[in-house]
Chains A and B, each alone.
Chain A
Amino acid sequence: MLVASPAGTSNDPQKITFHSLPGVSLVEILKLPQPRFIRAEDAQKQLNYIGEYVRLPDFDCQTVVVEEHYIDRDHMEDHSVFYSKSLHPYPNFCRRVHFFRLEKEELRKQINRIRSSRAAGDAETFGRQCAEFSRQHYLGFTVIKPLPGCPVGRTVLRCLPAESGKGYIRKFHCACDYDPHLLGLRLTVTGLAFQQQDLGVSACATTALWTSLQRARQLEQSANVTPAQITIRASQFNLRFGRPMPSEGLSLDQMCQAVQSLGYSPNLHRAGSYDITRALIFSSVSSGISPVLIMDMPGRDISHAVAAAGIGVAKSTKPPTADSIRHRSTDLKAVYVHDDREGPYLKATIRKRKEELLIHLRLPGGKEETWRLTHILIPLHPKIRLSFAQLYTAALDLVDKAQSYAKARSSVSPAGSIPVTTVWKSRILRSTIYLEHLLREAGGAATVEKLCKTVRFSRYVASVRIEAPGLDAFDVLLDTTSTERNLDCLAVVQLGKLHPETADLCRFLVDRYGGRWIA
């Protein structure tokens, strides 16, 4: 009788091995097979990037722990719709590699110590110990797919630290918590999932959407979507560029179709004006909604999609010499993107050429690329009817009032009229998250109490934070379920009582736009 030789059975023993990282590459540790028709350095580029990333002085990874058998939902689904139908018997399971700061023996000891503490203590203490252990020593994980030409599957690595040491602050608003389990411990890592394009089920468009939807999923606690689901939904009604699999890329309308059919609303913007494009990226990322950046390479017929995970914001700016209104995005220096051709948290510097926004990537190995941003695709919760561009437009209406007030006030000053600059930013947040942010402000607890007792919130609120000289900062909250023509102001929230005239302006705004004044 002929019996097919399986790649493994469920009764095979699981193997979990510890390896020291210094001086060895991940490829060597994992003993990856060489791809047949492409160069190993091309196939393993992302894995090498990950190896270098965890070795950065900020992380200093000492040990990797390899789970030899790991079922990854994304690969399982890719396998189900694509790889299982190949002649070659690709396994449906993967390996998972965890990264730790501790040295091998110390790591074993610490894991044993926390595990043994569970019998003596309660679940809460155990949970706290796991969280503390993760915070101190855990750097994240990468799933290794059984595909020699594209081994890097779902990868979640800790974000770079906020302090860059180069005059700007990194902010990873789109990062979320992932809780992998290892050897009985519940680990936690805050990051945004990345994976390499496989060009079977997904190319860059699918992978960028997959990353972006990871964050959207956590905001709504909905199920993760897989690359296979995205490609299938994208090509359901439209095959503009031929077969969906092996993936030959997606068009923008296919990407929008996928977003829509997965339960989100595709908010698409064309990159026209530099200032507006930069403000849209800033607002989306600082709202914790990862935008997909579509870009092309000038002079070459090629377009690319990456998902933004965070931003780099200048620490200080030059004082203005003339009256102005300034969006916080003026401080935007860089965007940290997940580029499926390279790796996660790749720094993309923002540059201006006439009205174009250029994205400059410094790639590993010293290579540099400059792309031109053409579109921004933001997957929104369907209850958010107000787009980021509409919010920007509505906010300008409010900001010009604040600037006018501050300017009029300055002109009656005995010191004489001096340059007045109003700074503002606009975000769309879950109302609960907005309230949590408000609690961090001085006197926030009392303000939150008043807000909750007097204002009915939409699930997501649009918040316009305005800071004008001589006035306390204040937020104007807009109902995101309303639309541009019938925009509903929920509240004007004064954040301080140092400047009595703020109340005067807030009352004026409430009279004009509606909502409640909360001070």
Chain B
Amino acid sequence: MPVLTKKKNPRVVGVRSKSVTRVSLADPNFRARFEKEMRRWEGKVRPLKEAARSSERLTERDFAIRINARG
């Protein structure tokens, strides 16, 4: 008889849960690893945040654009 299995989302890739040791932020060693990763990823996303913020910094020139394509 075929076994029904949950279809995996192909976009979420990485660790297989079965082979992973149970972790918790209450564990100081794991917490330290997490915080180290956090510092790394906070640094990585900073340019993206800055780019998102700058998309809203508009000047007079932006507002003066004339939109008049005909067809």
Contacts and interface: CB of A to CB of B under 8 A. Distances in A.
B17 interface: yes
19 contacts: A204-B68, A204-B70, A205-B68, A251-B63, A251-B66, A253-B63, A270-B55, A302-B68, A303-B65, A304-B69, A399-B45, A400-B44, A403-B37, A404-B38, A409-B15, A413-B21, A418-B15, A420-B15, A501-B23
Interface-central residue, A341, A411, A498, A508, by most chain B CB under 10 Å: A411
Interface of A: 42, 45, 197, 199, 203-205, 240-241, 248-253, 255-256, 268-273, 275-277, 280, 294, 296, 302-305, 316-317, 319-320, 325-326, 331, 339-342, 374-375, 387, 389-390, 392-393, 396-397, 399-401, 403-415, 418-421, 423, 467-470, 473, 498-501, 504-505, 507-508
Contact of B12 (A325, A421, A508): A421
Nearest to B56: A389
B67 A271 contact: no
B38 A401 contact: yes
Contacts of B22: 500-501
For the residues of A in contact with B, the DSSP-based class is: mixed
Given A270-B58, A415-B15, A418-B14, A303 B69 contact: yes
Nearest to A467: B12
Contact of B20 (A413, A467, A505): A413
Nearest to B21: A412
Given A204-B69, A251-B66, A504-B24, A320 B52 contact: no
Interface in B13-30: 13-17, 19-26, 30
Nearest to B33: A408
Nearest to B31: A408
Given A252-B67, A277-B55, A325 B45 contact: yes
A499 B20 CA distance: 11
B15 A412 contact: no
B38 A275 contact: no
B34 A410 contact: no
A341 to B, nearest CB: 3
A275 B23 contact: no
A294 B15 contact: no
A339 B69 CA distance: 10
A419 B62 contact: no
